Structure 1
Amino acid sequence: MIHWRKGIVTAIRSTRPGYTEVDVELDEALPGTDVRSIRAVAYTDAVGQPRVQDTVLVNVSALAKRLGTGGFGLIVALPDALPADPPEGPGHLVKDRYSPLQTMVLGVDDQESQHHSTLAEAENLESMPVVVADLHSALPAVIAGIRTVDPTLSVAYVLSDGAALPAPFSQAVAGLRDADWLTGVISTGQAWGGDLEAVTIHTGLLAAKHVMDADITIVAQGPGNLGTGTKYGYSGLVTGEHLNAAALLGGRPVGLLRMSNADARGRHFGISHHSLTPLSEIARPGMTVPVPDFSTLTEAERAEMDPDPDVVAEPVAGQLSQLQMHDLVDVDLTGLWDALRSSPVRLSTMGRKLPADAASFLAAAAAGRCAAGIARS
């Protein structure tokens, strides 16, 4: 199940809180190749801080399988430089449970947490808007849309456990935090490494409202969406349940439409089936679903996009008929293109940057604008 290698750290490529990327020279080449020099990632809170010349044990399965997503090694241990034991303290939530790298954290809803009594009593989000997205790449675009309405709105991010589990893996989150676009991160389920840890999406949402005092919360998985090309076999399917969770708790669920005007795969062109399936079959009726109005784009803006988002107008019109059980809200896109271009972090989805898949980012920004309007109403 795991391709193991031992190696030596030859260089430090980059570092940020909880995350360090290095170059490693392996003692044995990757399977079926003569490749020995690889890029590898260390989650420093879990394995310690690697240094040049350190020996490392590395999981190289993603490289062995030639995966585009996750195409790097994962440092599992520094056998000659093990980190010190964590300090004694409260917390008994186990994440990545029963794997060799399970970690123990203090949960915001843990009995030992200072916030336990708050969450024991909290049962309502008090109409807080909750934007639910399939792809992690939507996160900065949603916040860009929010900020066109009111840049002072406090935004929390609830990280689900459908993709990357360690919160420090997200370069976007680090950049958004540095730019003060994001108030904080709550990692839920098996995910870990946020500012707060929670057992479920439900307690994560309640913590966003009652501990972080967020005006708006965004729920999305981390980087590394998993899909199999089947109707129900993809990690974003749970967005329907996340919308239901927000509704159950008295929030205002906002279902972000995953859209593309550039994806060559028919199931993702226009509105992706990754949005259509959970919204039409799993989410309870009555969700707010923002629909970007591409006719409100200027000619100057369109000139920067290739292809023009209008190429999806006809298929989208037909697809929306599947979502009539929800509250479909047309969103004016005026000013959103400039807002997206001002993002403090790089915008990229499935390897496509902003001009190459404008519909994707405009749909996400439209959801943010819609949620901000709800928050201010």
Structure 2
Amino acid sequence: MISKRVGKVEEIVDKSDKLEDIRVNINGDIQRAYNYPKMTGKVNVGDEVVLNTTAVELSLGTGGYHFVITNLNNLESNLTEGGHIMKLRYTPFQVKVDSVEEQDSSYHDKFDEFSSLENLPVAIGTLHSMLTPFVASYKRNNPTKKLVYIMTDGASLPIYLSKNVEMLKNKGLIDSTITIGNAFGGDFECINIYTALITAKEILKADAIFISMGPGIAGTGTKYGFTGIEQGPLLDAVKKLGGMPIAIPRISFADKRDRHRGLSHHSITVFKDIVNVSVDIPITMYSEEKINLIKEQIKDNCLLKKHNIVYIDNKNTKDDLDYFGLKVRSMGRNYEQDKEFFEAASTAAYYLMEVCDDSRRKND
């Protein structure tokens, strides 16, 4: 199940205390690999490392890198000093984290005292690449409001793999991060989405929440066989706790696969068959031909009967990204190549701001 090779570190291209981008020599062939120092210790040029080479051997596009399993020259690592909750449980890679809910936590009682999210807006996406355009639009217009990112375990488990999260945090555009399930490495660790939502509201005092998996996604081309299906249960959880669930639709006119053209079959499946509650779905007003296709898809799948679908004229996405000097990419495509995809996430931020604007609500 795991392909392993021993390599020698030839070069450290980029490094931080969370992620090292290295080049390793495997039988004379120089190849790329990632090392998580908190898990497997820091590497130095000349170190011998054991590598998980499975994804590269399978020629995977997502997650197609070597990863260091252990550094034979440095066996020391320290993910966290405290905590008693394990993630990646009962595997050779299980890690100890300091979970917010655990009994020794100073926040332990917060969870029994919780009553409601009190209509706190929560935007939920299906791809990690939706994070940056949403954050750019939200924070440009609300620089002082607290935005919390909850990362699920639908794709990358270490949050360290996301250079976007690191960059957005360094720019002050994400105030705090929470990792849930078997995902780890956030500012706060939680066992599940319910306690993560409570943490965001009661402990971090969030004004808005964004939820998505980390980098990567698993898909099979079947109706239900994709990790983005988690959007349904996540939306249900927000509603269950008294929050405002806002679903970011996956929309593209650049994807060559017909099932992802316009409103992706991933979104249609979630909105039609998986989510159990009515949610808000903001749709960007694209060009006439494109919006007509989306409206036809919505009608054919009877989504208007179940959800609140709102059409919003948003032409600010590129300006918002440029304002913070942000670049975006999804499935290998940049903004110019797949702008409708990124606009969908940005539009969710504008919708969130509109419905949460107290002055507008009073004037309605």
Which category describes the TM-score, using the shorter chain as reference length?
over 0.9
Aligned length, in residue pairs: 355
1:262 to 254, 258, 267: 254
Contact 1:148 1:336 survives alignment (8 Å): no
Task: Determine the C-alpha separation between the residues in 1 that align with 2:353 and 2:20.
Answer: 35
**Structure 1 residue 109, shift from structure 2 partner:** 1.0
Q: How does 1:1-377 map to 2 (within 5 A)?
A: 1-27=1-27, 36-83=29-76, 90-294=82-286, 311-321=289-299, 322=301, 323-324=303-304, 325-377=306-358
Asked if the contact 1:291/1:329 (under 8 Å) is kept, the reply is yes
CA displacement at 1:346 relative to structure 2: 2.3
Q: Which residue of 1 aligns with 2:362?
A: none
Distance 1:200 1:249 in 2: 13
Query: For the residues of structure 2 that align with 1:17 and 1:158, how far apart are their CA atoms?
Result: 21
Secondary structure (helix, strand or coil) at the match of 2:337 reads: helix
Distance 1:166 1:85 in 2: 14
Q: Write the distance in 1 (CA, Å) between the matches of 2:129 and 2:79.
A: 33
Amino acid at match of 2:312: V
Deviations 1:221-241 (A, max 9, x none): 011111000000000001010
* Contact 1:106 1:112 (C-alpha < 8 Å) held by counterparts: no
**Aligned-residue offset at 1:344:** 4.0
What is the TM-score when the length of structure 2 is the normalising length? Answer: 0.94
Partners of 1:247 and 1:51 in 2: CA distance: 48
CA–CA distance in structure 2, aligned partners of residues 220 and 200 of structure 1: 13
Q: Which has the higher contact order (CA 8 A, sep 6+)?
A: 1
1:120 deviation in Å?
Answer: 2.6
- Contact in 2 for aligned 1:290/1:329 (Cα 8 Å): yes
CA, structure 1 residues 13+250, in 2 after alignment: closer, same or farther (shift >3 Å)?
same
Question: TM (normalized to structure 1)?
Answer: 0.91
- C-alpha change, 1:341 and 1:313, in structure 2 (3 Å) is same
344-353 or 239-248, which deviates more: 344-353
Q: Amino acid of the residue matched to residue 57 of structure 1?
A: V
Taking a change above 3 Å as real, the CA distance of residues 86 and 139 of structure 1, as seen in their structure-2 partners, is closer
TM-superposed deviation, 1:175: 0.6
**CA–CA distance in 2 between the matches of 1:166 and 1:345?**
22
Aligned counterparts of 1:233 and 1:149: Cα–Cα separation in 2: 37
The code of the aligned residue for 2:191 comes to V
Residues 194-250 of structure 1: CA deviation (Å, up to 9, x unaligned): 000000011111111111111110110011111000000000001010000000001
Q: 2:361 maps to what in 1?
A: none
- Between the two proteins, what is the percent identity of the paired residues? 33
For structure 2, the 5+ residue unaligned runs are 359-364
SS in 1 for 2:321: helix
